[in-house]
Amino acid sequence: MCGIAGIYGGVERNRLKSMTSALRHRGPDDETYWIHPQGIVGFGHRRLSIIDLECGRQPMMNEDGNVVVVFNGEIYNYRELREELRSRGHTLTTQSDTEAIVHLYEECGVDVAKKLRGMFAIAIWDDRERQLILIRDRAGKKPLYYCSSDAEFLFASEIKGIVAAGGKNRDLNPRAIRGYLAWGAVPAPETIYREVRVLRPGHVLVMRDGHVIREVPYWQLRFVPKTSVSRGDAIARIDAKLREAVRLRLRSDVPVGTFLSGGIDSGIITAMASQEHPGRLTTITIGFEDAAFDERPLAKQVADRYGTDHQEIVVRPNVAEDLPRIAAAYDQPFGDSSAVPSYYVAKAARQFVKVVLNGDGGDELFAGYRRYIAGRLADRLGPLDSAALRPLWSLMSWALPTPRGFRTGYAFAHRLIRGLSLPADRRAAAWTVDGFDQTALHTLGMSNGGLPGIPDGGPINNDDPLVRAALAELGGLGPLDSMLGFDFLTILPNDLLVKMDIATMAHSLEARSPMLDHELIELAATLPESLKLSGFSTKPLLRSLAAKYLPEEVCRAPKRGFEAPVTRWLKEELHDMVTDTILSQRGLIRELLDRTVVEGLLENRSGLDPARWSRRVWLLFMLGLWDVQVRRAVEPAAAL
């Protein structure tokens, strides 16, 4: 685990050093560089030492020096790959996973990633072909940003690494701002800056002679053909494959623990890890004094069952002091409020371990959100789900009172009716977006020239590039698979995995996600829809598996997100800070949005329910904090 950076096209050591130094938090243990003898290309590396602590330094090259590799992440099947490479005559002199990539590239070329089982962002210089290759893992666990111009090509693990190189790469991207206000995170492959992009998950980019000659997928999520399997066999296969994924992710030369919440995903991971770990496993749980957001009692039941070295940390956050630091860590506006507890649990875990396992991916693979139930139910309504009746459903959705929360039975029914007012292929996006919808964006003044170049309709119709790309990959699937696939391609890599990567790396902590093992992903995708969601209970297959490992009370507990008391914070601890930030006389919000409408939102003149009100205010607040902490902190306001 580490931070990587590089320059292609006339390398200046000081610039490369500035880029790499900006990533110090990702790798505080070591700092190394490699520059081509002719100055064509240069790599920088900040190391968080996890495997082969003595000899695993990067960048690493083959015996002839014509293949050079720098990478961020972990290759969990590196031991098996090393044995295979030795059997083919390769000489390996370290015990690191990096060296396996070097020699595997000699065997497979640009197809190297197809044999890797792990999380990774890789840069390879092939001196024989004079080509630079960038590769990102299948799910998007590890980030990789790049900026291309006629003169040079820059890449880094975080945008701050590219910004540190200087140059004119900080003009704001209007579409990204609008996308952020809808989704709560900037939709990839774009970023907040026009000239900076993120390499998409499961893709490889090849650059030669100063030009990107291709950027193509080496892996894509496939839901067909379906596996013919009984429910019992499906659970057994998940059990075996997940246990294998956990076992591989326990490989480390430093202490490993788990994030343990009160949910079944982290509970199953902890149960399997405690059984596979050679010693007593460390588990870390955080809680708030507000009982509504505290899952410590359920987590402790799991810890007690497996005799873990359990660490409970009660968070009494000074959010006014910590939020600017959190906002700055993300490089882009980031509006997922669970970034706050994620930041605190990572900070707590780093006191005890250097590597943690988590339950990320369980909801997106095994149908953990109630909107999946709504999607399947809508599909079964037959004639009631027709184009002729959509105006009726639309009228009902408009006439019915807005739900007072997101997780009530009435909220579910309201969401279902709203979905029936839309064509089936638009429901996944409409149900996923929980920020400013199309109407609210117009009300904010977003269609009045504040963001030039954005067509009317906003980011939640099928003209949005993110939605369009996802739908193109998911055509012809059943209602559940299309929604699972949509979330896998959108909110998982753009929001949830960004949150975990930044929160953990800000504290020099490595997070590993067994449920995002690509072999388990492929298994889950090809299971029949009827097994993945058969009734009104989310994650039925994982719940059945949980019964084997977890206390009954944990299995029966209602789903909770990793949440924080945001509404209270906005009204109490953060009230003055929120008002000052959003209504500042200078800055991005002042430049882009209708001030009268923003003031009305802060005062909730339209009577939004508390959950929806706090969500929208939080999005504006974090946009304003990012503007202060990142955009204006580096240099004067960049042009739109």
Tell the residue number behind the tokens 């006339």, with chain if given: 10
Both structure tokens of 624: 């304003």
Cα 434 to Cα 569: distance, rounded to the nearest angstrom: 19
Task: Give the tokens for residue 72.
Answer: 């961020």
How far is residue 542's CA from residue 109's CA, in Å, rounded to a whole number?
A: 38
Alpha-carbon Rg for the chain in angstroms: 24
Q: Is 147 a catalytic site residue? A: no
- DSSP letters of 491-539? HIIIIIHHHHHHHHHTTT-EEE-GGG-HHHHHHHHTS-HHHH--SSSSS
Domain boundaries, the chain: 2-217, 231-361+513-556, 565-640
Q: Is 2-217 in CATH node 3.60.20.10?
A: yes
User: H/E element holding 7?
Assistant: strand 2-8
Q: Which of 125, 157, 191, 121 is nearest to 27 (CA)?
A: 157
> What tokens appear for 24 in the block?
């110090």
Q: 131: which 2 tokens? A: 């080509």
**Whole-number Å distance between alpha carbons of 28 and 45:** 10
Place of tokens 């000899």: 55
> 378, 420 in Cβ contact below 8 A?
yes
Crossing angle between the packed helical segments 97-108 and 78-87, to the nearest 10 degrees: 50
SS3 for 50?
coil
Q: How many CA atoms lie within 13 A of 473 on its CB side?
A: 20
pLDDT along the chain (640 residues), means of 10: 91 95 95 95 94 83 95 96 95 92 96 97 97 98 92 94 84 90 92 95 94 93 94 98 98 94 95 95 86 81 97 86 94 94 92 96 95 88 83 83 73 83 79 75 60 39 62 82 93 96 96 98 97 91 97 85 80 94 89 90 88 92 94 59
And the tokens for 459? 């980011």
Evaluate whether 103 touches 92 at the Cβ level (below 8 Å). yes
CA dihedral over 450, 451, 454, 457, signed as positive or negative: negative
355-357/510-512 β-pairing: parallel
HEC profile for 294-350? Answer: CCHHHHHHHHHHHCCEEEEEEECCCHHHHHHHHHHHCCCCECCCCHHHHHHHHHHHC
Q: Where are the alpha helices (DSSP H) in 433-478?
A: 438-443, 465-474
List the one residue out of 450, 469, 490 whose CA is nearest residue 175: 450
CA distance 55 to 609: 57
> CA of 376: how far to CAs of 415, 460, 478, in Å?
13, 21, 9
Tell me which DSSP letter residue 293 carries. G
Which of 349, 412, 402 is closest to 559 using CA atoms?
412
The alpha carbon torsion through 105, 107, 113, 115 (nearest 10 deg) reads -140
Q: Residue holding tokens 């009305």?
A: 600
Out of 2, 55, 108, 147, which one is annotated catalytic? 2
The amino acid present at 110, given as its one-letter code, is V
Return the CATH class of domain 231-361+513-556. alpha beta
Closest to 342 measured CA to CA, from 500, 123, 184, 131: 500
Q: Contact at 8 Å (CB) between 533 and 313?
A: no
CB 335 within 8 A of CB 618: yes
3-state secondary structure of 626: helix
Q: Is the peptide bond before 225 cis (omega within 30 degrees of 0)?
A: yes
SS3 at position 252: coil
> Token digits for 329?
């860590």
The total of other beta-carbon atoms located within 10 Å of residue 585's CB is: 6
**Confidence (pLDDT) at 455:** 38
Query: pTM value?
Result: 0.93
